[in-house]
Chains A and B, each alone.
Chain A
């Protein structure tokens, strides 16, 4: 079964046609990178996958998006259930003004988990999975704002992992970080691939080629090319893709 299966998706911000007839499939435990020039609709498409665009008034979608076979835009779908399954890490780290522990426990608490020992175990596991444990193990009670930007971003990843999603959406997760933190996040993505299906938006071609199995190239709201990453970077079918990855525009 395909983890993500988008068919004929058109998306509008009021009367602005932001995405045009997108068809895209993602298999389980793969990493897919979205690339393309600024404003081409990468974030828009990513946010379609966990219905984050619902928050923006005046948006409209046609076509269908299936996650694990289920149409997530069908009537009767609970968005909070969907978002539990499809986690998200944002471009800028956005921890809550709470302690490190409470940040990671948040997703569990809002989803009705009350078992204290379970929460504790899960928080520790998630922080370890986000490769942050050694740096924060002595200050779990401290405010999340006391961490560096890179640590905050890994905390946000840990927070997303804590509720055991199936899919992890990452919108330029390393764009605000220094090279060392970026390398850590990339390593982490490589590790997480074993357990999660990952969709990552990036402007960094090396990053896309390093971390992803498949790459989707968007341009002006259209999905121009979607193929194995090696193929996109060595033998793109479209001249526009080639121009973009070789840095001739974008």
Chain B
């Protein structure tokens, strides 16, 4: 009977273990499956095509080039590998500049033939039209088969999912935004957190410690919106004032808010690690004439290294994955940041802000999932490498 019960408990534990692992695995698979469609989605808006003059040697354009052409930043075909020839952008609404309404027909039935005619006559034209307005015998080259390339995503310098005709899903601004904000947060919180941990573990009297420790642990439980609100009301105006910025919502504001949020975790974990240093080891150091500070940095910190490492990992993890507070204070500008004092936008904030408006299965939706994969990979690489480093040092 007893044996049977033990087997039962064992089985239950195994089951819950496997269910957990399988669930996590399924989430990861789902994430990557949804994201994988991104590179099969068209560069330009669904249902539209781009038409060029037959003589134009340009046969393909990437997403960013299309955007620049339609924004008027690229004005000559030689900038995208064509002949010296000014670019002439023609959208559906522009057709009226070339033809009168009568010529286009009362119910626009003549648009296909006119569009074809226009394309064949103008050497520098780029025509952007819905598919149904393209005639069977369209006299030009169509660029409708293009799909988004990995370079458009991984090397893309702009995130602008509503851009028309070609939505921009550039990873770089978001990735850099995330890295800047997280790096800033870690640089602020790690030294400070370890200092507080040292103070609590080694210097503070029992009374002070018994008061501060629960307080700090309490801070870890405050929801992130509250931190975001605090950041918005206190830190953002403060930064704007002290650096004389046009806007206070910057990467630095995000870093500070994240640092404050990560502190309780870092302090608690690092302090617990330092308290595991045996009294005998500390006494050995002091008995050899070491001062308290020498004992702290030569014995206690090295001894607690692996604990401090996990404190750092947990802190970074919280910083990289944090969404709400960052969304509130960083200004949400998806541009590549050059200093910490510019508005940025992080990957998690982007996903949170945009997933609601992206229709399932669209390129935008898939791009957001791809961002999720990137986030997953970053945290995985960080924790594996830190684990690796701390193991190597330990041996």
| A94 and B291 form a contact (CB under 8 A) | no
Determine the distance from Cα of A67 to Cα of B205 in the docked complex, in whole angstroms.
Answer: 30
Residues from chain B with a CB closer than 8 A to the CB of A159 are: 284, 288
Residues from chain B with a CB closer than 8 A to the CB of A90 are: 280, 283-284, 287
| A97 and B278 form a contact (CB under 8 A) | no
Determine the distance from Cα of A71 to Cα of B299 in the docked complex, in whole angstroms.
Answer: 30
The residue from A57, A80, A92, A98 contacting B289, defined by CB atoms under 8 A apart: A80
| B281 and A110 form a contact (CB under 8 A) | no
Residues from chain B with a CB closer than 8 A to the CB of A107 are: 288-290
Closest Cβ of chain A: how far from B301's Cβ, in Å? 12
Given A57-B206, A90-B283, A92-B280: A83 in contact with B288 (beta carbons within 8 A) = yes
| B289 and A94 form a contact (CB under 8 A) | no
Determine the distance from Cα of A87 to Cα of B285 in the docked complex, in whole angstroms.
Answer: 11
Closest Cβ of chain A: how far from B91's Cβ, in Å? 71
Interface residues of A in 8-50 (CB under 8 A from B): 50
| B281 and A96 form a contact (CB under 8 A) | yes
Given A83-B287, A90-B283: A110 in contact with B298 (beta carbons within 8 A) = yes
| B284 and A96 form a contact (CB under 8 A) | yes
Determine the distance from Cα of A107 to Cα of B299 in the docked complex, in whole angstroms.
Answer: 12
| A81 and B206 form a contact (CB under 8 A) | no
Q: Is A216 an interface residue (CB 8 A)?
A: no
| B303 and A50 form a contact (CB under 8 A) | no
| A94 and B283 form a contact (CB under 8 A) | yes
The residue from A55, A57, A156 contacting B284, defined by CB atoms under 8 A apart: A156
Closest to B292 in A: A80
Residues from chain B with a CB closer than 8 A to the CB of A96 are: 281, 284-285, 299
The residue from B286, B287, B289, B302 contacting A97, defined by CB atoms under 8 A apart: B302
Closest to B289 in A: A84
Closest Cβ of chain B: how far from A170's Cβ, in Å? 12
| B283 and A55 form a contact (CB under 8 A) | yes
| A80 and B290 form a contact (CB under 8 A) | yes
Q: Is A174 an interface residue (CB 8 A)?
A: no
Residues from chain A with a CB closer than 8 A to the CB of B298 are: 106, 109-110
How many B residues face the partner with a CB closer than 8 A?
A: 19
The residue from B206, B281, B294 contacting A94, defined by CB atoms under 8 A apart: B281
Q: Is A52 an interface residue (CB 8 A)?
A: yes
Closest to A79 in B: B286
Residues from chain B with a CB closer than 8 A to the CB of A95 are: 284
Interface residues of A in 73-105 (CB under 8 A from B): 80-81, 83-84, 87-88, 90, 92, 94-98
| B281 and A83 form a contact (CB under 8 A) | no
Residues from chain A with a CB closer than 8 A to the CB of B206 are: 57
Q: Is A111 an interface residue (CB 8 A)?
A: yes
Determine the distance from Cα of A159 to Cα of B299 in the docked complex, in whole angstroms.
Answer: 15
Determine the distance from Cα of A87 to Cα of B288 in the docked complex, in whole angstroms.
Answer: 6
Q: Is A160 an interface residue (CB 8 A)?
A: yes
A-contact 0/1 string along B273-313, CB 8 Å cutoff:
00000101101111111110010001100110000000000
A-contact 0/1 string along B161-172, CB 8 Å cutoff:
000000000000
Closest to B277 in A: A97
Q: Is A185 an interface residue (CB 8 A)?
A: no
| B286 and A52 form a contact (CB under 8 A) | yes
Determine the distance from Cα of A159 to Cα of B302 in the docked complex, in whole angstroms.
Answer: 19
| B287 and A50 form a contact (CB under 8 A) | yes
Closest Cβ of chain A: how far from B22's Cβ, in Å? 40
| B283 and A110 form a contact (CB under 8 A) | no
Determine the distance from Cα of A110 to Cα of B288 in the docked complex, in whole angstroms.
Answer: 8
Closest Cβ of chain A: how far from B342's Cβ, in Å? 45
The residue from B280, B290, B303 contacting A110, defined by CB atoms under 8 A apart: B290
28 intermolecular pairs with C-beta atoms under 8 Å apart: A50-B287, A55-B283, A57-B205, A57-B206, A80-B286, A80-B290, A83-B289, A84-B288, A84-B289, A87-B288, A90-B280, A94-B278, A94-B281, A94-B283, A95-B284, A96-B285, A97-B302, A97-B303, A106-B288, A106-B290, A106-B298, A110-B288, A110-B289, A110-B290, A110-B298, A159-B288, A160-B287, A160-B288
Give chain A's interface residues, CB within 8 Å of chain B: 50, 52, 55, 57, 80-81, 83-84, 87-88, 90, 92, 94-98, 106-107, 109-111, 156, 159-160, 163
Nearest 8 A/B pairs, CB to CB: A84-B289, A107-B288, A94-B280, A110-B290, A88-B287, A83-B289, A94-B284, A110-B294
Known: A94-B280, A96-B284, A110-B298. 16 other contacts (CB 8 A): A50-B287, A52-B286, A55-B283, A83-B286, A90-B287, A94-B278, A94-B283, A97-B303, A106-B288, A107-B288, A107-B289, A107-B290, A110-B289, A111-B289, A160-B288, A163-B289
